[in-house]
Amino acid sequence: MMKEYPLAKVFQLIEPGPVVLVATEYKGKANIMTMSWLMPVEFEPALIACIIGPWDYSFTALSKTRECVIAIPTVDLAAKTVDIGNCSGKDTDKFKTFGLTPVPAEKVKAPLIAECLANLECRLVDATLAEKYGLLILKAVKAWHDPKRKERRTIHANGDGTFVVDGRTLDLKKRMVKWPQFI
């Protein structure tokens, strides 16, 4: 039997993932924020839509520099990932506080995060809906991953402080007849 569900919590039913970290560099200072609202928009160029609130210091940094790195943490970094999303670069050096290692990127000033599974160097290519929705379209211009990393399970937000950790992998490659390029 269906029960009414609060509209304000609809996003929790369709929450995308994984939870990521967004690294920026603004006025010589590197910063990180946590972000769970993102989705792929295009394969090539690799476009990613994300929602970043204008109250976030990272929003200012990204708007001004038009560059960032999307770093993908795994479950071993889950607690740090949440803590990074509960303080601001306005008054906290998050790389130092959370013991993360900034690594120079190749195409953007924002740093990669060494401890993450993957890092995407991104340019902000469309902010026309930023004022209305906080929607920013990023283009990944260089991507990195750590193929030797043992822990590879990413985390997915339920939107209420609980998270789903990657679990069993279903191999349905044989059924992907329309998409051989992704196999």
**Positions that interact with ligand FMN (CB under 6 A):** 19, 31, 33-37, 51-53, 56-58, 82, 85-90, 157
Which residue has the CB atom at the shortest distance from ligand FMN? Answer: 85
CB of 14 to ligand FMN, least distance (A): 13
Give me the numbers of helices (H) and strands (E) for the chain, helices first please.
Answer: 5, 11
CB of 153 to ligand FMN, least distance (A): 16
Cα distances (angstroms) measured from residue 52 to each of 34, 98, 118, 175: 10, 21, 20, 36
Dihedral sign (CA 82, 55, 72, 31): negative
Closer residue to ligand FMN (CB): 32 or 112: 32
Beta bridge partners of 120: 70, 143
CB of 12 to ligand FMN, least distance (A): 12
Closer residue to ligand FMN (CB): 4 or 28: 28
Residue with token string 């992704």: 182
